Structure 1
Amino acid sequence: MTEGIEFDVSETASVAEHRDEVVAAVTDHTGRIARELALLQGGDYGQSTFRTDAGEWTLKYEAGDIQYLRFEGKTGGETYVVSSKQPPEPDELAAAMRDYEAFVKAYNRHVESKAGVLDDVPTEFPAVASTDSVVAERDRVVGRIREVADAISGELHRYEGVDYGTFSARVDGTRWELKWEEGRASYLRVGGRGGTYLVSQYEPPSAPDLRELAPEFGRFVEAFNEHVDDLEADLSRVSL
């Protein structure tokens, strides 16, 4: 049925080629704006919107590279002038580009508005208080607790006859747990799972936690001594 039909078909190659040239130029130019915004905002990714008389331009970037440039005209509709998906329609691109200069000027005004904003910000600050004395006192108290916890661990190691284990007791209803390995304390935890570690292989307790719990440590030692007394009482009833 199509034999003999001789209608001319317009080619779009030149229009598409010109469109691609415009998009490439805009991508390069707006890429510079994206890098400047990334520097100004101090992040690897983000987006900014700039208003003009004709509409709004939104620039999104990631790692300093442009992700998209979108134009939303006041009369409706939106055009992705730069996009990672597909190029814009030529007519839509042409309409957006008529406002592109206004977008760049809006960006420039934005940058200029930041000039001098930090001029009156002081850079002289109060002296920083040293934590040396607090840390030294904390380490002294924690060190003494560790010494006693190691002594308890050594006694448990001798009595239990195994290389590792735990001993727990309640002090005023709060669970204290000592884990030991080969006669040394692995940790002393107060409050069960998720509690506070007075002795740890990782980091010391905070000064407020230590201040609250250190006075109670003696009660834990007393609970251990009572445990030993009970063991001696049990053994005293054994006769040969």
Structure 2
Amino acid sequence: MTSPSDVGGEIGFDIDVRDVDAVADRRDELVASVRDHAGTIAYQLARLQGGDYGRTELSTPGGEWTVKHEAGELEFLLFSPNRGSDTYVVSTKRPPDPAGLATALDDYANMVAAWNDYVESLSGVLDGVTADFPEPESTDGVVAERDRVLDAVRETCGVIAGEIHRYEGDDYGTFTARVDGDRWELKWDEGAVSYLRVGGSGGVYLLSQYEAPSAADVREYADPFAGFVEAYNEFVAELESDLTRVDIS
């Protein structure tokens, strides 16, 4: 059987296959240096932008560079030359092509200069900006007034919920009434108030288990609430009238 070396000898091949290790090692050495150097830019960019993720584009005579960071660490450094293919000089995927790396590194100093120019352009941008701001007004008074009104509404609704629960005998239920065109709904749960809502499913919750209404909403519906109570009293009066007409003789 003829070996491959025999075949090569027979047809006259006498060509050495070049070892790529030296090229790959040099490329990796250069990429590591760029990663360390550009990592400083990424860190400074993160401080400037103030977020966990960010990027910036820097234009140079040779093309455009993109620096992207994640939590202050360089995620990638991309060079997009004016002519030719993009080269990820630094990335988390694979090392760059040596030829593309060489082209990018020829322009790398220009990228650093562009970054420095950008930072320099921000120098003094906050000079003269005052940090003396007006004192914000406290909402304590408004909140206290809102809570005072709501406490009275809650107390009244508690009586209504307890009475209806005692009359109906069910653990859950609602009492509804229409006041000046608005639908009011009081939901009770075992005699306690679950919510008081005005205006249907998309309306305002004057009472709820979650958050208090705005002071403006309380002001708008505080007076009409009296009409809701009157509607409840009329409901009770009708029940009493109905009961008086029951004849068991």
Q: TM-score, normalised by structure 2?
A: 0.91
Once residues 61 and 113 of structure 1 are traced to their aligned partners in structure 2, the CA distance between those partners, rounded to angstroms, is 21
Residue 108 in 1 paired to residue 116 in 2?
yes
Structure 1 regions of 5+ residues with no counterpart?
Answer: none
Residue 4 in 1 paired to residue 7 in 2?
yes
Once residues 84 and 185 of structure 1 are traced to their aligned partners in structure 2, the CA distance between those partners, rounded to angstroms, is 58
Q: Of 157, 164, 172, which aligns to 1:164?
A: 172
Match of 2:139 in 1: 131
Q: Of 48, 51, 72, which aligns to 1:43?
A: 51
Match of 2:35 in 1: 27
SS of 1:170's partner is strand
Deviation for aligned residue 1:234: 2.0
Match of 2:83 in 1: 75
Once residues 181 and 159 of structure 1 are traced to their aligned partners in structure 2, the CA distance between those partners, rounded to angstroms, is 14
Once residues 21 and 195 of structure 1 are traced to their aligned partners in structure 2, the CA distance between those partners, rounded to angstroms, is 67
Letter of the structure 2 residue corresponding to residue 29 of structure 1: H
Residue 184 in 1 paired to residue 192 in 2?
yes
CA RMSD in angstroms comes to: 1.6
Once residues 18 and 245 of structure 2 are traced to their aligned partners in structure 1, the CA distance between those partners, rounded to angstroms, is 111
Moved more, 1-10 or 96-105: 1-10
Residue 91 in 1 paired to residue 99 in 2?
yes
Deviation for aligned residue 1:48: 0.1
Once residues 50 and 132 of structure 1 are traced to their aligned partners in structure 2, the CA distance between those partners, rounded to angstroms, is 50
Once residues 199 and 45 of structure 1 are traced to their aligned partners in structure 2, the CA distance between those partners, rounded to angstroms, is 42
Q: What is the number of residues matched between the two proteins? A: 240
Match of 2:239 in 1: 231
Q: Deviations for 1:57-89, whole angstroms, at most 9, x for unmatched residues?
A: 111112212221111112343211112222111
Once residues 143 and 76 of structure 1 are traced to their aligned partners in structure 2, the CA distance between those partners, rounded to angstroms, is 73
Q: Of 59, 62, 68, which aligns to 1:60?
A: 68
Once residues 37 and 46 of structure 2 are traced to their aligned partners in structure 1, the CA distance between those partners, rounded to angstroms, is 15
SS of 1:99's partner is helix
Deviation for aligned residue 1:171: 2.0
Q: Of 153, 162, 179, which aligns to 2:161?
A: 153
Once residues 60 and 85 of structure 1 are traced to their aligned partners in structure 2, the CA distance between those partners, rounded to angstroms, is 14
Deviation for aligned residue 1:96: 0.5
Deviation for aligned residue 1:174: 2.3
Structure 2 regions of 5+ residues with no counterpart?
Answer: none
When Rg is computed on C-alpha atoms for both structures, the one with the higher figure is 2
Q: Which runs of 4+ in 1 moved over 4 A?
A: none
Deviation for aligned residue 1:220: 1.1
Once residues 24 and 182 of structure 2 are traced to their aligned partners in structure 1, the CA distance between those partners, rounded to angstroms, is 76
Match of 2:152 in 1: 144
Residue 198 in 1 paired to residue 210 in 2?
no
Q: Deviations for 1:72-112, whole angstroms, at most 9, x for unmatched residues?
A: 11234321111222211101101100111111111112122
